[in-house]
Structure 1
Amino acid sequence: MENVLIKKLIYRFCLISLLAWGGCQKNYFDTQPDNILTIDKIFVNRGQTEKWLAGIYTFVPNIWNYESFVTPYTLTTDELDASNWVNPAINSGALNAANASLKFLDYYESIRKASIFLENIDRNQEIKDLVNGSEIIQQYKGEARFLRAYYYWLMMKEVGPVAIAPLHSSSPDDDLQIPRSSWDECVDFVLSEIAFAKEDLPLNNYAMGSDTELDPARIGRINQIIATAVESQILLFHASPLYNGNSEMSDFRNFDGKQLIAQQYDPNRWRRAADAAKEAIDIAESNGKQLYKVSDSDPFRAAFLSCRNLYWDGANIEGIWLRTESGMSGWERRVAPRSVEGTGYAGFSVVQRLVDDFRLQDGSSIHSNPSYVENEYTTTATPYYVSGTNKMYTNREPRFYVDITFNGAVNPGVSKSGAANARVELFYTGSSGKAGEPRNWPTTGYIARKNIPPNYVAPSTSVARPTILIRLAELYLNYVEALNEAEPDHPDVVKYLNAVRERGGLPPIEESLGQAQMREEIRLERRIELCFEGHRYFDVRRWKVADKPGSEQGGAFYGMDINEGTSLSDPKFHQRTLVFRRANWQKRFYFMPYGQREIDRNRVLVNPPGY
């Protein structure tokens, strides 16, 4: 039975594109009967062993992979709508255990695969006989142990406290009726495993035998810098209101009454999170990481280019954890207006609330600055918009023009020929408008723009680049959020927040604004700097603001009136309009459920209240 399970595991992982080394050879299993394919055969061969390790990386998520909508988080938040193509069940309120995401099955499969690897890697004499064989095996163990912990962390973010399997490859005789551990126990477990893994991991992805020269073939492989950054993420969540003294979750218990979410607030968690984030920053910066910046005589242009080009020119400078297999074509094509050369789909629609949250160029809010108007049209063209554009889109901060495509915006990629394609037209009869198209138009009259290169032609990927899974700006924002809660008057709060703001083209905050107001500034900065990068879904939950004004994840969502407009400056298009409604926020939406089949198999496993 064990051999059959092993064969199924290998076969499945060979069918999937592997992160680090490439897939298994064609017909690899065709001549190997079940009674020959054993652990002994797999782990005595270096190539097979390394393919097994590569397979453990397979389910590390790619936040920009929308080929099959495998990363739906952004599409269920107050960032984006893609209901022309897909509308996850949580948006309608129909989410339940029967139709929930089954990604946890992939994570458990990877966890089991990591355990098998750790049990057997020491048997590989072929690797041991290499000059640096012991070093290789030690590093491989560190990678596998970290990834095993990381998949638990991914599950924890989605489903909350998890059921922790034994740290060995289970057999059919094992008792796998395993209840959830508490959130605190899960955090302790994952952090202890990562700490153990760091003992075996290299500081950086150096070439074998060197402690200075980086190996380009090892991009994305786990090292101490990556592991420390993930520790920062975990401890930031652990300190946040959803997990730290949350009486609203007092009924989230196992069948035996065990409380799964801490009911007592512990302020020391914020200090621990701040220290972990600062450690992650220090180790990254001491190894050459820095905020990516472009020099230009025009400070506004410098900020724009710094934020736009980060995802290709700046990936190796600011990126902490990179994924070498990008899979970004699905994202690029869906954010490309139809006025871009080729066939863009123009349908990842930005909700009005996010558009409004981007500040004006002087750092003020559109809600407090009297110069902001929505009923006038500019007669000036810039590198970011054309003459005739509504003034609601002018004089905005540089990141607005990096992240949002609006009516009158300059095309994000290579333009098709013709006057109508020289700019983005999102009004009804415009070149990227609704008229005559079944679904390739934005429901809100705005399209996401981030991470699309200026020489893009749909559907080709114009710039080969890695995906940035963690970057230094995130660590800065982790640090200031935790430090503002632990020690609000600490000068680092302003220092590191300003570092992100100033790179984005905003004026600095001169002094502390007080804890409450600084908290709002930090959360807004995180919303803008990290938009579309997979954070918003989790941030509003861990902050417990998903039902609060300005952060509601349900209810009414607005945009421009895409059913109106026959010219760029048509006021009929530029009207705030109710575009769609989502189910009102429900407490059960804090966590995804385990799938019903898992609940049926594991009779001591509970789902969060409401499922």
Structure 2
Amino acid sequence: MKLKFNYILLAGVISLGGLAVSCNSDLLDVQPTDRISDDAIASDSSLFEDFVINRYMGVRLMDKEAEGTPPGFGRGFEYAMWASLTDEAIYNNDDNTWLVQRGQLAPENTGIAGTLWSRSYRSIRECNYALSIIGDVIMTEQRRARLTAELKFIRAYRYHDLVRNYGAVVLMGDNVYDLDNDLTDAALFVRSSVADGIQYITTELTQAAGDLPAANDSNWKLGRATKGAALALKSRILLYAASPLYNAGTWQAAADAAKEVMSLGYSLHSDYRNLFLTSSSSEIIFERLYSVGARHVCLEISNGPNGYGGWAGNSPLQNLVDAYEVKVNATTAVPFDWTNPTHVQNPYVNRDPRFYASILYNGASYRGRQIETFLPGGQDSKDGRDNWNASKTGYYLLKFLDDKLPIDNPWDVAGVQPWIYLRYAEVLLNYAEAQNEAAGPDATVYDAINKIRTRAGMPNLPVGLTQATMRDAIRRERQVELAFEEHRFYDVRRWKIAIDTENEPAYGVNITKNGSTLTFEKKVALDGRKFEEKHYWLPIPRAEILSSGNKLEQNPSY
């Protein structure tokens, strides 16, 4: 379904991708026959609800975005994922990611990070438009309240994306700006404080939670916002608010918000690997769904090993691999240590099971044989087939990939996995972090973390941790539990440790085979990795600054 809208292009605050503006000329005032008019949307409750549902998607604004269906929130299942802007992965064929890794981000050159501002404000304007007419659409008051809450959730999600990427942003309220407004008014481009942005988002989500249904069911389809989704997003943004980069909230408020979600009855899925291949689970709080014929990027070919015809895509870094602990026995796990000869001799033995569920490594069983990234002669190394698609790191992504779907000729068959935006394990991690910062490592902190570790097949955390050592444990837990799910980029920034983690080299591994003996050595997989203080926030694209008549303030040092 195509929906007609009279959009405008107005700086960053309501930048709508340069879509056409309606004209007053009688000659051009012709009703299109290939789209539904504004009047039809306002006069038909079913069309109006379809319009609301479509707001979960955005517009394609750059090359190689959103193959098949339009993009949703964040990067999701794109060719280059957000993970490839972090110490989790590098994108094998660049696709405008290496400039971010190398600290070359600029207002004139934002790489794959350049569409968040305009897509978010376009969606906000669309939500504001719907909210402005919903009172005139004939429907029951219960349905009106639910759809209003749904629009508030979507709008809040877009603002959450803006705040966590740019910091201070322009708050539009319920205004729907068009060319009849005074677009030279400088007040239109004033960025509110981070604290005001957080307050606006949390207020919207609190209101939305009150009128959204408790769960998806036959009357409220899978993939739409629920009370749990609103409260889980509130938990996330309040955790960010309390963090050092934001300094705009309290840890206690963040802990309380997470605890409210924990009372709703969600639970952890029993199988970590399977969780990301199923659309229905007690752990999933909010997700993006796909179906055959309306596919997203086919993950198996875009990320799979070159020995199978895959393109290596988002190749995991040794930096992440090293974060997965080594299990000594049923009660003890220790960090992987490159100075420990036992670890280096057999680096993939007795690792955290989430490693085996997330990353393909040399010797891993996959589709009927073992992965071979060793040299010389490994089938999945640069000595194998299609050597231009060999991983530069020595690893391949496994998380999200479905072995039952084809790598060769996957079009219109593969690409049907859900993308999970919010899940219960994140809420438990939110609670553990916030509660530890607010009150120290009490029993509830241990309980939240140990539930996640137990599901993964890992020993409980050792007793007697201090607040500082528990903080380190929680951060490691987030790194491995939420790997590749668009969290690491924001976590290292909000903790203000990106100046360290993102200035580490992008490591891979060289594996040399000599007879039956393998030797392992860290290598630099992508040179020139760099992070500066200004990179804690993204730059607002230069085009947005210019279209405001330079009234919109740029982030510092760009």
User: Per the alignment, in what secondary structure is the counterpart of residue 117 of structure 2?
Assistant: helix
- 1:364 counterpart = 2:334: yes
Inter-CA distance 236–221: structure 2 relative to 1 (3 Å threshold): same
The corresponding residue for 1:6 is 6
Contact 1:346 1:432 in 2 (8 A): no
Matches within 5 A, 1:347-358: 347-358=313-324
Residue from 198, 219, 231 that aligns with 2:209: 198
Question: How far is the alpha carbon of 1:315 from its aligned partner?
Answer: 4.2
The separation in 2 between residues aligned to 1:94 and 1:141, in whole angstroms, is 41
The separation in 2 between residues aligned to 1:144 and 1:529, in whole angstroms, is 30
Matches within 5 A, 1:188-337: 188-208=199-219, 218-244=221-247, 269-283=250-264, 285=265, 289-293=266-270, 306-313=271-278, 315-325=280-290, 327=295, 329-337=297-305
Residue from 465, 471, 474 that aligns with 1:513: 465
Inter-CA distance 540–398: structure 2 relative to 1 (3 Å threshold): same
The separation in 2 between residues aligned to 1:451 and 1:206, in whole angstroms, is 25
Inter-CA distance 55–6: structure 2 relative to 1 (3 Å threshold): farther
User: Per the alignment, in what secondary structure is the counterpart of residue 592 of structure 1?
Assistant: coil
- Percent identity between matched residues is 31
User: In the alignment, residue 526 of structure 1 is paired with which amino acid?
Assistant: R
Residue from 97, 100, 107 that aligns with 2:107: 97
Question: How far is the alpha carbon of 1:568 from its aligned partner?
Answer: 6.8
The corresponding residue for 1:211 is none
Inter-CA distance 505–463: structure 2 relative to 1 (3 Å threshold): farther
Deviations 1:140-172 (A, max 9, x none): 111112211211111111111101124121132
Question: How far is the alpha carbon of 1:556 from its aligned partner?
Answer: 2.0
User: Per the alignment, in what secondary structure is the counterpart of residue 469 of structure 2?
Assistant: helix
Matches within 5 A, 1:66-105: 66-67=78-79, 69=80, 72-88=81-97, 89-100=99-110, 101-105=114-118
Question: How far is the alpha carbon of 1:90 from its aligned partner?
Answer: 1.5
The separation in 1 between residues aligned to 2:517 and 2:389, in whole angstroms, is 22
Residue from 144, 147, 152 that aligns with 2:154: 147
Residue from 379, 401, 409 that aligns with 2:356: 401
Matches within 5 A, 1:568-607: 569-571=517-519, 574-602=520-548, 603-607=550-554
User: Per the alignment, in what secondary structure is the counterpart of residue 575 of structure 1?
Assistant: strand
Residue from 344, 352, 359 that aligns with 1:374: 344
Matches within 5 A, 1:366-515: 366-367=336-337, 372-375=342-345, 391-411=346-366, 414-415=367-368, 422-428=369-375, 429-435=377-383, 437-459=386-408, 460=410, 464-515=416-467
The separation in 2 between residues aligned to 1:514 and 1:494, in whole angstroms, is 12
User: Per the alignment, in what secondary structure is the counterpart of residue 524 of structure 2?
Assistant: strand
Inter-CA distance 443–315: structure 2 relative to 1 (3 Å threshold): farther
The corresponding residue for 1:181 is 192
Deviations 1:156-204 (A, max 9, x none): 1111110112412113243453211000011111111222223332222
- Give the TM-score of the pair, scaled to structure 1: 0.77
In the alignment, structure 2 segments of 5+ residues that lack a partner are 10-15, 20-27, 59-71
Larger Rg: 1
Contact 1:488 1:515 in 2 (8 A): yes
Deviations 1:475-534 (A, max 9, x none): 000000000000114210001110011111111125240100000000000000000111
Contact 2:362 2:374 in 1 (8 A): yes
The separation in 1 between residues aligned to 2:507 and 2:310, in whole angstroms, is 23
Structure with the largest fraction of strand? 2
The separation in 2 between residues aligned to 1:555 and 1:30, in whole angstroms, is 58
Contact 1:204 1:223 in 2 (8 A): yes
Residue from 119, 136, 147 that aligns with 2:143: 136
The separation in 1 between residues aligned to 2:286 and 2:127, in whole angstroms, is 20
Question: How far is the alpha carbon of 1:472 from its aligned partner?
Answer: 0.6
The separation in 2 between residues aligned to 1:174 and 1:194, in whole angstroms, is 29
User: In the alignment, residue 123 of structure 2 is paired with which amino acid?
Assistant: S
The corresponding residue for 2:63 is none
The separation in 2 between residues aligned to 1:351 and 1:171, in whole angstroms, is 46
User: In the alignment, residue 57 of structure 1 is paired with which amino acid?
Assistant: Y
The corresponding residue for 1:48 is 47
The separation in 1 between residues aligned to 2:536 and 2:347, in whole angstroms, is 34
Inter-CA distance 599–64: structure 2 relative to 1 (3 Å threshold): closer
The separation in 2 between residues aligned to 1:223 and 1:113, in whole angstroms, is 20
- Shifted more, 490-499 versus 392-401: the winner is 392-401
User: In the alignment, residue 102 of structure 2 is paired with which amino acid?
Assistant: S
The separation in 2 between residues aligned to 1:521 and 1:194, in whole angstroms, is 30
- Shifted more, 177-186 versus 227-236: the winner is 177-186
User: Per the alignment, in what secondary structure is the counterpart of residue 579 of structure 1?
Assistant: strand
The corresponding residue for 1:419 is none
User: Per the alignment, in what secondary structure is the counterpart of residue 48 of structure 2?
Assistant: helix
Inter-CA distance 328–516: structure 2 relative to 1 (3 Å threshold): farther
RMSD: 2.9
Contact 1:292 1:314 in 2 (8 A): no
User: In the alignment, residue 454 of structure 2 is paired with which amino acid?
Assistant: E
The corresponding residue for 1:303 is none
User: In the alignment, residue 106 of structure 1 is paired with which amino acid?
Assistant: R
The corresponding residue for 1:108 is 121
Contact 1:425 1:568 in 2 (8 A): no
In the alignment, structure 1 segments of 5+ residues that lack a partner are 16-28, 209-214, 245-261, 294-305, 376-390, 416-421
User: In the alignment, residue 443 of structure 1 is paired with which amino acid?
Assistant: K
The separation in 1 between residues aligned to 2:348 and 2:296, in whole angstroms, is 27
Contact 1:291 1:472 in 2 (8 A): yes
Deviations 1:231-269 (A, max 9, x none): 00010000001011xxxxxxxxxxxxxxxxx6xxx6xx0
The separation in 2 between residues aligned to 1:530 and 1:396, in whole angstroms, is 17
Matches within 5 A, 1:110-129: 110-125=123-138, 128=139
